[in-house]
Amino acid sequence: MAGNSEPLSPRAKLAVTAGRAAAAVSRAAGRGSGSVIGGRVALKLDPDLLARLATHLDVVLVSATNGKTTTTRLLAEALRAGGPVVSNALGANMPAGITSALAGGSDARYGVIEVDEKYLAGVARDVTPKAIALLNLSRDQLDRAAETRMLAEKWREGLAGTEAVVIANADDPLITWAASSCPTVVWVAAGQEWKDDAWSCPSCGGVLQRPSDDWFCGECGFRRPVPTWALSGDYVIDPYGAAWPIHLQLPGRANKSNAAVSAAAAAVFGIDPKVALERMYKVQAVAGRYDVVTYLGRELRLLLAKNPAGWLETFSLIDAPPAPVLLSVNARGADGTDTSWLWDVDYTRLAGHPIFVIGDRKLDLAVRLEVAGLQFRVCADIDEAVRAAPAGRIETIANYTAFQDLRRRVGN
Ligand SMILES: [Zn+2]
């Protein structure tokens, strides 16, 4: 499959060129990298372009509510052991962004593509992937559990009969439900920290029983499949029972889970887990996430948390008290405009930390922290918060647009 076996048609070439031109204009106008507008223009000129750009690639798709950008980076690094990789590393994960990323990858052997959950089935139809990695499904902002269940159903229908090898997290009942229509599934015991969206059986609506490390439905018999790969502490256990150490520069249990799924996915492409995991060490910050920066003479670690499951994972990796914690919440378009999801997060894990609150919706967050019985201080902006924080690295946790604001402010 590698190499340029099928040259692009004149129309496809025109579409790619027009897309690049549009991207360049957009960049010149100061509207970011221009990759999405370029992809949009190109797809308008040639709707089959995505499929065409992918024909010479061995493609793997990555989707999830949390961790897909990081996993895409880890997996891309692993597959580079086998040849050049093209990837939408900056997280432009809808069809236009994916098209634009692939247009730059004519010499690549592998395409490692992060896909927004809502577009997964469509992109999978277009690019005929060799593998699809599915990590987790939980609600985003206001999406209630019922909507998450509908998304799982959409995946289940859209991926039924796919020729791709699906690598799926067996510890997530919704992922299991979504993947169980696929003919070839590699199940990975990758863990699930956030269980609030997975107490009802995706198959029959019954109550799921969740004894430790297992889950099953007492009513219809839908149950956790037997995994062939597993995350076990700091190791990935492969199907032969061999344990491979995980060494990451990225912090936290969630990233070990991402590494385990990535190792299982890399194996589909013939990359040895030892080699795959060693290469993953190279990944440092992902689009600024986890970056440690110096600002006003203080060290800040930048952590992104977009939804309740993300906040929970983030709390588990911050330094112990008395490390100061700075929280920033906005409610602009990309964040979801309703902040009631703040009530789904268990903030008691922040007890003992000096807490500073900023962002457009700092007062919503303040009310929530007050109810949780925590001590905190509301600040006008990041400068005031940083100056007020006691000694120690400041763990800075922000949702999507608040995170972008922070990165701009600290010059990262
Ligand atoms: Zn059931």
Ion ligand 1 — residues with CB under 5 Å? 201, 203-204, 206, 217, 219-220, 222
The residue ranking higher by pLDDT, 311 or 139, is 311
**How far, in Å, is the centroid of ligand 1 from the Cα of 108?**
44
Of 21-25, 65-69, 194-198, 380-384, least confident by mean pLDDT is 21-25
Exposure string (b/e) for 351-367, b if CB count within 10 Å is 16 or more? eebbbbbbbbbbebbbe
Angle at CA of residue 346, ends 345 and 347, nearest 5°:
105
Question: Which entry of 48, 338, 346, 381 is annotated as an active-site residue?
Answer: 338
Share above pLDDT 70 across residues of the chain, in percent, rounded to a whole number: 93
**How far, in Å, is the centroid of ligand 1 from the Cα of 309?**
23
Residues 71, 133 contacting (CB under 8 angstroms): yes
Domains of the chain, start order: 10-280 (3.40.1190.10), 292-407 (3.90.190.20)
pLDDT at position 26 is 64
Instruction: Tell whether the model's pLDDT for residue 381 goes beyond 50.
Output: yes
- CA–CA distance, 181 with 150 (Å, rounded to integer): 15
Instruction: Tell whether the model's pLDDT for residue 285 goes beyond 90.
Output: no
Residues 370, 347 contacting (CB under 8 angstroms): no
Residue whose C-alpha is closest to residue 335's, from 246, 405, 237, 253:
405
Q: pLDDT tens digits for 211-223?
A: 888 999 999 999 9
**How far, in Å, is the centroid of ligand 1 from the Cα of 207?**
7
Phi, psi dihedrals of residue 85, rounded to the nearest 5°: -125, 140
pLDDT at position 246 is 97
Can you tell me whether residue 8 is helix, strand or coil?
coil
**How far, in Å, is the centroid of ligand 1 from the Cα of 209?**
10
**How far, in Å, is the centroid of ligand 1 from the Cα of 213?**
18
pLDDT at position 4 is 45
Share above pLDDT 90 across residues of the chain, in percent, rounded to a whole number: 64
**The pairing of beta strand 229-232 with beta strand 185-189:** parallel
Residues 251, 285 contacting (CB under 8 angstroms): no
Is 344 known to be catalytic? no
Please write down the HEC assignment for all residues of 177-214: HHHCCCCCEEEEECCCCCCCCCCECCCCCCEEECCCCC
Confidence of residue 19 (pLDDT cuts 50, 70, 90): confident
Single-letter amino acid code for the residue at 50: L
User: What single-letter DSSP state applies at residue 225?
Assistant: P
- CA–CA distance, 37 with 94 (Å, rounded to integer): 12
- CA–CA distance, 268 with 3 (Å, rounded to integer): 19
Angle at CA of residue 256, ends 251 and 259, nearest 5°:
120
For residue 16, CA distances in Å to 30, 42, 102, 152 come to 21, 6, 10, 33
Can you tell me whether residue 306 is helix, strand or coil?
coil
Torsion of CA 384, 381, 329, 69, to 10 degrees: -90
Residues 387, 296 contacting (CB under 8 angstroms): yes
Q: Which residues are annotated binding-site positions? A: 201, 204, 217, 220
Q: Which residues are annotated binding-site positions for Zn(2+)? A: 201, 204, 217, 220
Instruction: Report the chain's mean pLDDT, rounded to a whole number.
Output: 89
Exposure string (b/e) for 230-267, b if CB count within 10 Å is 16 or more? bbeeebbbbeeeeebebebebbbebbbbbbbbbbbbbb
The residue ranking higher by pLDDT, 204 or 18, is 204
**How far, in Å, is the centroid of ligand 1 from the Cα of 169?**
18
pLDDT at position 2 is 42
